[in-house]
Structure 1
Amino acid sequence: MTGPTAPRGLKVFNGQTAPDVKPVDWLVEKFLARGAGTLLFGQPGVSKTVHAAHLVACLVTGQPFAHLKTVRRGLRVLYLDFDGSWEWNHELFTAAFRGLGVEGLPESFVYYSPNTEECTVQGQEVGLQTLESLGPDLEATVKALRVDVVMCDSLGQMMVGDTNSGQDVALALRLGLNPARKAGAAVLVIDHATKSAAGGFGVPTPMGSQQKRAWARVSVALEREEGEEGHVTRWSVDKSNTAPFEAFLTRTTFTNDGEALHTVELEFIGEAGPRTSFKDRPDRGTETQQSILDALQDGPLQRGKLGRGGTFDRALLTLEQAGQVVRLGRGLYGLPDAETIPPPHQPLGNGGVVEVVTRSVNGEELGAW
């Protein structure tokens, strides 16, 4: 059902001959779609591969991912591990499946790594194969194994070109990964974020050329945040060609069996709310001063228990000069009204021992405490 074709021209259609629009086939709603590219990026230490392993387990077992709607039937997932090898990561994937109640690795999870000997072909060094040349083999694998999702971890390890060059990145994505999209698979690229937004100071962006964002239909940022009960992970849409999901928080729990990783579980906590911008945050000195005052609410503490570093030194000096903190002697600090100091040689709340010290105010000694 097409319109007229000019000699040697483009095959076009108009309003009368246009085909019916096919709905987007979401494998994970507003995040991962069949035939489309998704970019998942984050800072070092945010555990991108751990979160990807949990996502793999959800897709293969047909279980929900966080609170987003996920197809209930199990999918076939191909994991392209360009960063690691099976020796390093098999324990992680096993733990992710165990976290969803599945013992062992299902057959519908398939794995490839140029760094794993079993993935070589007749002893040839497949690791020398570049992402740019991977397209035909990847397309054939997707078709032969009926792969639904291809995960690439990470992009820069297999590129022969420069990751900062828009032309090189666009070429690698088109030649290396687009054939899998054309074959009907959703393609998820795991990548690194720039360090400029580390610690919550700004909005993270993918490292290198922004052609990666241009290629992806959906781009999602992972950020580590401090929650009420420890570290949590913020998931937020960086870019989307459709209605994006609202930013949300998850918590990852690891369970060990001796020295071996046994179980990985991911818990959806709730919506993340607006990100605190750099201008909204108090300066580090003010934050450090407040943390010192909070720590001393329960009684005097040794300097080493309060903190260290240049910012801490300046914050403590500022509090001393303002009279908000007093030095009780030999590195022991407390609040001005700290009259609850234990008698000599009695244990503090932190297990320390108080020695006899001399307290003074405005240079006048008040005697031993």
Structure 2
Amino acid sequence: MSALGFPPREAFEATLEECKAHGVKLLILDSLGPALEGDAEAARDVIGFYQKVLEPFRTAGVTVLVVDHQSRLQAGERYQNKRAFGSVFKTNLARSVVQVEAVERGENMLVVRLRQNKHNFGALTNPLGAKLSFSEEQVTIDAVELEEEDLTTEETLSARDRVLMALRMVGEGTPSEVAELTTGLTLGTVKKELSKLRKGGAVEETGEVRDRARVVRCVTVTDTYRGNGNGNAPESASPAAKGKFGGRI
């Protein structure tokens, strides 16, 4: 519904009544800046808005999806390290925060990446891709599968996952070569994660030394099978057989 011609507080009161009357469960607020009617950098204004304006919707069982903006990207900054402009309480008081980044623009189309930076009720969701196609009749949204090359730069993923994906991409390599693909991770962090992965059996040394560094690769893990005369039967493999015929090659 449009709030044109109404003060924000009156518009919110009317919107709440409409939500209750029609059983609305999701309200999209676009955007927080004009609706705030205060200083976005002042904690008291942000906290007051969440408590006095948004909390009544939550009490009524209405989820509020708030669209907000981040400060302009400066030289040397990474987009995914940016946060909403203003008080940290914008993030602190939210239950979930998702950053949207435009990664490709074309005629009547836009590809974005969505990364969850906060989630109060569970683990962070892996980054997602989406393609928006625009026409006079409609806007179409299609999922875009992210390649490992894209995910290695995502700081919302664990360092270990990013290092492992980078190593799979190169096949085998030195810590420095892996670090080149994991933007945001120091060489020291990459070395530490590779060491943990090697001790855990997910990575092994090839025996080759390159640039005075040991070359490593991912270990391929297969299921353990034991023949029983009728084909493979992994369920019936005894512990002794599993120890003798290890699944790691």
Structure 2 length normalisation: TM-score?
A: 0.53
- 1:204 match: 82
The aligned residue for residue 26 of structure 1 is none
The one-character-per-residue Cα deviations of 1:269-316 (angstroms, maximum 9, x if unpaired) are: 1145133689949xxxxxxxxxxxxxxxxxxxxxxxxxxxxxxxxxxx
Aligned to 2:99: 221
The residue number in structure 1 matching 2:217 is: none
- After the TM superposition, which residues 328-367 of structure 1 pair with which residues of structure 2 at under 5 Å, given as runs? none
What SS class does the counterpart of residue 92 from structure 2 fall into? Answer: helix
**2-side partners of 1:162 and 1:240: how far apart?**
26
Using the TM superposition, name which of 269-278 and 140-149 deviates more.
269-278
- 1:209-257 deviation per Cα after TM superposition (whole angstroms, max 9, x unaligned): 1211112100000011149xx9521110011112221101111112x3x
Structure 2 equivalent of residue 252 of structure 1: 132
Residue 42 of structure 2: aligned partner: 165
Cross-structure match for 1:139 = 16
2:3 aligns with one of 114, 130, 150: 114
Q: How much identity, in percent, do the aligned residues show?
A: 25
Correspondence for 2:138: 263
Amino acid at match of 1:178: E
Q: CA separation in 2, counterparts of 1:136 and 1:267?
A: 35
Corresponding residue SS for 2:81: coil
1:175 correspondence with 2:52: yes
Could you say which residue in structure 2 is the equivalent of 1:184? 61
2:64 partner SS? strand
Q: Which has the higher helix share?
A: 2
- Count of residues paired in the alignment: 151
CA deviation string 1:173-206 (max 9, x = no partner): 2111111110011110011122236884552211
Write out the 4+ residue segments of structure 1 that deviate beyond 4 Å after TM superposition.
133-136, 197-202, 276-279
Matches within 5 A, 1:95-106: none
Maintained 8 Å contact 2:79/2:101: no
The letter of the residue matching 2:131 is: R
Change (3 A) 1:265 1:245: same
Distance 1:113 1:176 in 2: 17
Structure 2 alignment gaps of length 5 or more: 156-179, 185-249
Q: Do structure 1's residue 241 and structure 2's residue 130 form an aligned pair?
A: no
Amino acid at match of 1:239: K
Amino acid at match of 1:114: A
The alignment's TM-score, normalised by the length of structure 1, stands at 0.37
Distance in 2, matches of 1:236 and 1:201, equals: 11
Q: Which has the higher contact order (CA 8 A, sep 6+)?
A: 1
- Could you say which structure has the larger radius of gyration? 1
Show structure 1 runs of 5+ residues with no match: 1-111, 116-124, 282-369
